[in-house]
Amino acid sequence: MAKFEEQATQALLAKNHITAEQFESIKGYRQLKLFSVHNELKLLLYISMLMFTSGIGILIYQNIDTIGHSAILGLLLLVTLISYYFCFKTHPGFKKEEVLFPNPLYDYLALTAVILTCTFVGYLQFQYKPFGTHYGLATLVPTVISFFCAYYFDNKSVLSIAITGMAAYLGISADPKHIFNNEMIDNTRLSYVGLAFGLTLLLWVLYVTKINLKKHFNLVYLTFSQHLIGIACIVNLCEDYWFPFGLVLGIAVYYFYNLSFQIRSISLFIFTVLYGFIGMNIFFVRLLDSIRFDDFFEIFIFTTPFYFIGSIIGFIKLIKHFNKKTNDDSIR
């Protein structure tokens, strides 16, 4: 990182964007090796919020017989309403562009309020069933509240909860239990739903970019969209009707590859390469399987080690190319 920063500063000096005195000042500042504790403090705040909400859950579990359901629900509702009160009182209000709290502490308070809302609605449905047998409403209601809070309070973490809640309402679960049980692989309907949801998120990004609505949320939507499309297409590449999904994955990989350079997102770039590599290999094997694979079996076995070695080298070169390209673009 220091090498890239030094090269970028040298390029700014060579293009006369900064003076020699400014260059020496920047160089002297970097030699002091100062660092910010901003991220560390935010991490501690995030851990504190998780410990608080987890503590409430443990309190409910351990004392559910002695405290009483009504008392627990009342306490949850009280804490949630107090959290919302301070959030609405402090936040400047909704705007289409990014609007932050005056103090970043309230971002975590908004996140706490949303998590407590999800806990309250889930516990209320479990104990008293106000939605009857429509258990999806118990997921949809906090999801709608989460979307509202994400846009009103301009909170990306809350937006992630909202998108996850919508995925859960559609039947897509991303918890470790369902992943290890290969639920999406065993149920192709879920893969279709996941693909449709991923494409919907992508279309939403294109729409909000056009109307300039919270464009800084785009990376969150794109990350979910990329994973949903990638996993769904890879799952269906192993099914009988695999060819159309190979084409969809190819188009998605091409789109996300170019987009990762435009927005300089290393996470989008890495997962694009990963999904593209996995999908390309499955697609290639399916093509060989559709013809007389026996004729190519010996060649396939012989070239496999070289292929994987070449893939590793190619991946490293792609990462270097991405870093060089994005750093060069950032100083133009």
pLDDT tens-digit series, residues 91-110? 998 988 888 888 888 988 99
- Is 277 inside any structural domain? no
| pLDDT for residue 36 | 67
pLDDT at 271: 94
- pLDDT the model gives residue 46: 76
Is 104 domain-assigned? yes
pTM, entire model: 0.81
Q: In the predicted model, is pLDDT for residue 297 greater than 90?
A: no
Q: What is the pLDDT of residue 195?
A: 92
Q: Structurally, how many domains does the chain consist of? A: 1
Measured from the Cβ of residue 135, the count of other Cβ atoms closer than 10 Å reads 14
Contact 229, 248 (CB under 8 A): yes
**326 — phi, psi (to 5°)?**
-70, -35
Q: Which of the two residues, 297 and 155, has the higher pLDDT score?
A: 155
Please say if the pLDDT value at position 147 is more than 70.
yes
User: What is the maximum span of the chain, computed from C-alpha positions, in angstroms?
Assistant: 73
Residue 129 backbone zone (phi > 0: left; psi -120 to 50: alpha; other: beta): left
Q: Is residue 118 part of a domain?
A: yes
The answer to whether 184 touches 231, Cβ cutoff 8 Å, is yes
Whether 183 has a pLDDT exceeding 60, the answer reads no
Query: Does residue 177 have a pLDDT over 60?
Result: no
* Residue range(s) defining the domain that contains residue 93: 39-169
pLDDT band at 185 (very low <50, low <70, confident <90, very high): low
Asked if the structure places residue 160 within a domain, the reply is yes
pLDDT of 309 strictly over 70: yes
Report d(CA 98, CA 96) in Å as an integer.
7
The whole-number pLDDT of residue 330 equals 47
- Decide if 78 is inside a domain: yes
Q: Binning pLDDT at 50, 70 and 90, where does residue 318 land? A: confident
Radius of gyration of the chain (CA): 25
- Position 280 pLDDT exceeds 60: yes
Report DSSP state, residue 6: H
Confidence of residue 308 (pLDDT cuts 50, 70, 90): confident
pLDDT confidence of residue 179:
45
Residue 57 placed within a domain: yes
Tens of pLDDT, residue by residue over 219-270, are 999 999 999 999 999 988 888 788 889 899 999 999 999 999 999 899 999 9
Q: Which of 54-63, 186-195, 242-251 has the highest mean predicted lDDT (pLDDT)? A: 242-251
Identify whether 147 is part of a domain: yes
Domain for residue 48, yes or no?
yes
Inter-residue contact 235 to 185 (CB < 8 Å): yes
